[in-house]
Amino acid sequence: MNLEVVDRPEDARHWVEAYQRKNEVVGVVPTMGALHRGHFSLIERACNECDRVVVSIFVNPTQFAPGEDFAKYPRPLEEDLRAYRRYGVGMVFHPAPEAMYATDYCTWVEVDGLAEGLEGEYRPGHFRGVATVVLKLFHALPANFAYFGQKDAQQLAIIRRMVQDLDMGIEVVACPTVREEDGLALSSRNRYLAPEERAAAPALFQALRAGRAAFHDGIRTAEGVTRAAKNNLAEAPLFRVQYIECVDPERFVVPSGTLSGRELIVAAAHLGTTRLIDNLSLEEGTV
Amino acid sequence: MNLEVVDRPEDARHWVEAYQRKNEVVGVVPTMGALHRGHFSLIERACNECDRVVVSIFVNPTQFAPGEDFAKYPRPLEEDLRAYRRYGVGMVFHPAPEAMYATDYCTWVEVDGLAEGLEGEYRPGHFRGVATVVLKLFHALPANFAYFGQKDAQQLAIIRRMVQDLDMGIEVVACPTVREEDGLALSSRNRYLAPEERAAAPALFQALRAGRAAFHDGIRTAEGVTRAAKNNLAEAPLFRVQYIECVDPERFVVPSGTLSGRELIVAAAHLGTTRLIDNLSLEEGTV
């Protein structure tokens, strides 16, 4: 199948709408490129469930806080395009930053409450940038289904909330986190890790598992689950933890009463200069 | 022609998309109901230019600042529907407030800069509510053209900016302000005016004309034009002016240098408890 590469939002929209007019179901996988098996799992699922699949590649400047890794974020475009061809993706939307943000750009989407804690606290402006660019991508790619990874759990909750609040006709599909054999969640940023950091990295997931194990051992408070995870990670070398919390999976607040078992343990930590995030549901069998 | 009344955003969207799939051009006229000849001019133009016309009626709670007239805003639904039938409108989207804003609603659109001065200063939160509801209406009614009155000039500039920034596939059409014979701009709020207020009301438009006349007499600064308008209104009874300014028609800032002639004179004033706004381009022949 031909892979079209489109760089203007209106051309992308016309591509999607042309297939929808023929009653084809279109799926979109928004990415920042630098593909790994996590992205491939989204693309495979989209290809299984939809007649046409579009992938966007856009390293969105507005979701990087000052001092973050926007400039050095990996952009292996040719390698990414080869992978898309292999999977049968129909179109890649790859806009230039200027095509997405005019010099006098001034319109922003804010999801109050949900975007304030956790990632929102440590990455000021991050979720404003995410919500805004995802809305713009959904306007350029008005697909029937949009596929996101569960690894960015707070982002996923914010996008779901935005889609519902703004009456958007797109269904958000969450896909399980894909992990290395030792448990490390796949991330385009893992390539930044020095060898000794990479060796230490699985401790983050181990800590989340320790939190979940505490729940299944009878601990029923967010504080107790969080303590088990923190104590576990305290034994690991190199980590500087930003947060570990047990939160409601839709509202991302710490529940005050008895846990339901649907909560997520969410964590962010630095290994050297690399920032890792991960999360795990208290429910057994989830990844 | 049958007039369908739809109250759920997804049903409205399906209605619009069904006609677009048949290559029909759809126009939307967003209103808060309480129709007057200003609305009719928008609807007539939409009916002339589009195959199907949709009107929304929604008195949007989030664009009223605390203490404003949300509760008493007129809602003559049956009368409005009769008018729509007369004009050949195909569908009326008339959602309940709960259908637009769930109890945990939390997603907002902000247009920075443009939304801060003038109306934005005197009506805190107004343009956040306007931008948000118009985006939601455009999602529910993804028409080809959307018709707005020039009377709400700052709102129009904000909506144009939002549509451009968010890559929305809808063309915004601005229609001239419709006026009473004595010059008063039509507004659903004019019905609030007591007889002596109504008699005094045309002085607002006269003041704008005095500002424009000053420009055509050779005054070339925003300050000079504004002074002429203010001096003119100072002679009128009953008015309490909030602002009169001469501004750039896209950015709504006061130009510091020589006027180009494309600027607008914009004004807001109270007559008793009723707030009136109006504007006039410096260009001759405009209304």
Give me the residue spans of the domains in chain A.
4-175, 188-281
| Contacts (Cβ under 8 Å, ≥6 apart) of A188 | A32, A33, A34, A35, A36, A73, A74
Same fold across A4-175 and A188-281:
no
| Contacts (Cβ under 8 Å, ≥6 apart) of A206 | A183, A232, A233, A236
Report the mean per-residue pLDDT for chain B.
96
Average pLDDT over residues B194-211: 98
Is a pLDDT exceeding 90 seen at residue B285?
Answer: no
What is the tens place of the pLDDT at every residue in B52-72?
999 999 999 999 999 999 999
Note the pLDDT of residue A2: 81
Active-site hit among A39, A126, A216, A270: A39
What is the tens place of the pLDDT at every residue in A225-265?
999 999 999 999 999 999 999 999 999 999 999 999 999 99
Note the pLDDT of residue B5: 97
Structure tokens at B23: 């290559």
A39 is catalytic: yes
Beta-carbon separation of B135 and A166 below 8 A: yes
Please, which pLDDT band fits residue B1 given cuts at 50, 70 and 90? low
The angle formed by the CA atoms of residues B184, B187 and B191, to the nearest 5 degrees, is: 90
Report the mean per-residue pLDDT for chain A.
96
Question: Does A165 reach chain B within 8 Å, measured CB to CB?
Answer: yes
Of B269, B273, B281, B280, the residue nearest B119 (C-alpha): B269
Note the pLDDT of residue A225: 98
- Rounded Cα gap, residues A91 and B9, in angstroms: 29
Q: Which residues in chain B are contacts of A114 at CB distance < 8 A?
A: 106
Of A231, A136, A45, the residue nearest B135 (C-alpha): A136
Q: How many CB pairs under 8 A join A and B?
A: 77
Question: Does B161 reach chain A within 8 Å, measured CB to CB?
Answer: yes
Chain A: closest CA distance from residue B270 (Å): 30
Closest partner residue to B106 among A102, A111, A140, by Cβ?
Answer: A111
Percent of all residues in chain A with a pLDDT value above 70, rounded to a whole number: 100
Q: Domain A188-281 adopts which CATH fold?
A: Pantoate--beta-alanine Ligase; Chain: A,domain 2 (3.30.1300)
Average pLDDT over residues A5-18: 97
Question: Does A171 reach chain B within 8 Å, measured CB to CB?
Answer: no
- Rounded Cα gap, residues A266 and A285, in angstroms: 17
Question: Does A160 reach chain B within 8 Å, measured CB to CB?
Answer: no
The model carries a pTM of: 0.97
Is a pLDDT exceeding 90 seen at residue A13?
Answer: yes
Is a pLDDT exceeding 90 seen at residue A121?
Answer: yes
Q: Are B39 and B28 in contact (CB under 8 A)?
A: no
What is the tens place of the pLDDT at every residue in B87-99?
999 999 999 999 9
Beta-carbon separation of B111 and A113 below 8 A: no
Is a pLDDT exceeding 80 seen at residue A275?
Answer: yes
Please, which pLDDT band fits residue A113 given cuts at 50, 70 and 90? very high
Average pLDDT over residues A262-282: 97
Structure tokens at A85: 């061809």
Chain A: closest CA distance from residue B102 (Å): 8
What is the tens place of the pLDDT at every residue in A156-183?
999 999 999 999 999 999 999 999 999 9
What is the tens place of the pLDDT at every residue in B145-197?
999 999 999 999 999 999 999 999 999 999 999 999 999 999 999 999 999 99
Average pLDDT over residues B124-144: 98
Is a pLDDT exceeding 90 seen at residue B78?
Answer: yes
Note the pLDDT of residue A1: 62
Q: What is the CATH number of domain B4-175?
A: 3.40.50.620
Give the ipTM: 0.96
Closest partner residue to A139 among B10, B108, B168, by Cβ?
Answer: B168
